[in-house]
Amino acid sequence: MGLLDLDGLAVEYQTLHGAVRAVRGVSLSLPAGRALGLVGESGCGKTTLARALIGVLPRNARITGGSYRFDGVEMLALGRDGFNDYRWRRIAMVPQAAMDSLDPVQRVGDQMAETMVLRGGMTRSAALSRAEEIFRLVGLEPGRLRLYPHELSGGMKQRAVIALALALRPQLVIADEPVTALDVIVQHQVLRMLRDLRATLGVSLLLITHDISVVAHLCDDVAVMYAGRIVEWGPVGEVFARPRHPYTMGLRNAFPSLREHQEHLVPIEGYPPDLHNPPQGCAFAPRCPFAIQRCWDDDPALTVADGMAAACHRASEAAALRVEVAQAFERMVKDEAPAPAAPLEVE
């Protein structure tokens, strides 16, 4: 059992056009002290999942099923007050666009102290000295606690927001795109700081990002999300070296790398499905060069083999598929032909 265990967690948004099934049964486990990277494109449900985990879903969203256990406790059964005992004290979050999440009219130190007083029940003076301590930890001079957010650079604000998340010594930190808005050198330094912090504090990390390189830098495990589901999950090195899901395989050839010389990038043709009306079969089938009839008919479950999990009917053939993956995706671009079986002909 891990620190965090999800089983079939589902989240829906109510919209004018009906329900959008943003998270469609996510099962994941994060052992204490480890870092899990959750990667996926925009709209795949990763941020919705993060917000569900810390209980700050927007009003039109609700959890429609599954189980969410934290440290053995079923969180979905806790009421609002029960959840509050966990929020920030045991599960903290570095939100997306962290730079804009500081109150512009309050000094940074006051914001940190306020959080610690309200959430952690600390006295103001204890909170302020904890703020100094945690500022040093993230590489900021304690003197900067007296500054307003606009007096800090982007990198410093990001560090301050990370400090705020760590203030009450949480067991789990959920970081949503923590370095996306930063320039490459600042990003590099914040990533290094996060890695050092993980080593010194032993905090567990759920890192949400669209950038697989950031995960490679910081995480032990990676889970790839597509259309509201986890399609692949395993140790970073394994998933990178031997991906078993065609989507993960395709991503590797789909963006330029600085260190591997690529003559030609191979895009993944098409677009993710509309989650108003999720497909009956595998959500990736329309974009998958390896789709077979079965893929259109039934949605593959996440199956574990050799410590790796993949949701693909052809995962057992992954080694063979990897060999021809670039050519296969390329053919889809060239032909612009629909995959072997068109969805309408299924029934």
Residue ranges in contact with other proteins by CB under 8 A: 41-42, 153-155, 183-192, 210-214, 216-217, 236-237, 240-241, 250-260, 262, 264-269, 271, 333, 336
Q: Can you list the positions of beta strands (E) in 42-171?
A: 61-70, 73-74, 91-94
Q: How far is the CB of 234 from other proteins (least distance, A)?
A: 12
Q: Judged by CB, which is closer to other proteins: 301, or 333?
A: 333
Q: Judged by CB, which is closer to other proteins: 41, or 132?
A: 41
Q: How far is the CB of 239 from other proteins (least distance, A)?
A: 9
Q: How far is the CB of 179 from other proteins (least distance, A)?
A: 9
Q: Judged by CB, which is closer to other proteins: 111, or 187?
A: 187
Q: Cα(136)–Cα(193) distance, rounded to whole angstroms?
A: 11
Nearest CA to 86 out of 185, 180, 173, 195 is that of 173
Q: Judged by CB, which is closer to other proteins: 60, or 257?
A: 257
Residue tagged 């990178």 (tokens): 240
Q: How far is the CB of 44 from other proteins (least distance, A)?
A: 9
Question: Which tokens go with 226?
Answer: 């597509």
**CA-CA-CA-CA torsion sign (201, 167, 27, 237):** negative
Distance, C-alpha 10 to centroid of its chain = 15
Residue tagged 């078993």 (tokens): 244
Q: Judged by CB, which is closer to other proteins: 60, or 153?
A: 153
Residue tagged 């989240």 (tokens): 11
Helices 154-166 and 184-201 cross at an angle (nearest 10°) of: 20
